[in-house]
Structure 1
Amino acid sequence: MADDPEHGIIQLRMEDGGEADVYYSRAESKLTSVSFTHFATGALLDLVAQLATSLQAVVIPQEGGREPLSRLLSAGSTTGSRRR
């Protein structure tokens, strides 16, 4: 993937200690998909919500998640920026 300009991975670490791997794809210099893995509630979930809002995108949780996304969104905010 390192030599592929259309796909990439970024590793994030947030101030609250949360971490995630972020995989992305792009075509013609436009972002086409983003996938966050290995993250929990807190600042990273806030970032996912902010990104989805700014891109007017949807968040599709992976099957087998331990909690419904709506519960994570209502419980996981550290900034208070979440819409309810």
Structure 2
Amino acid sequence: MTVTSIATFAAPASSTGTASACVSPLAPTSSYPTEAGAVVYVYTDSDGSLSSECTGCGEYAWTLELTEIFAWHHAWTCRKKPHSSAA
């Protein structure tokens, strides 16, 4: 299983685009709230695989075997409060 920070996929500082340009703009297909008020979003990627991102700890996960159960389990165990969207 591969679990890595979404920051790994961010555009370099010298890039003219934004980091969000490197991430699929697809809408989440499901979401799971955490006890601390964050949300784990699950996306179906263009190749049919699933990926998830947590608004609490920032974990981004992708594998060919990622399932809804993986995302639900992360939501059940994550205790980080949601990141502020204000920069």
TM over 0.5: no
Q: Greater RCO between the two (CA within 8 Å, min separation 6)? A: 2
TM-score when normalising by structure 1: 0.28
TM-score when normalising by structure 2: 0.27
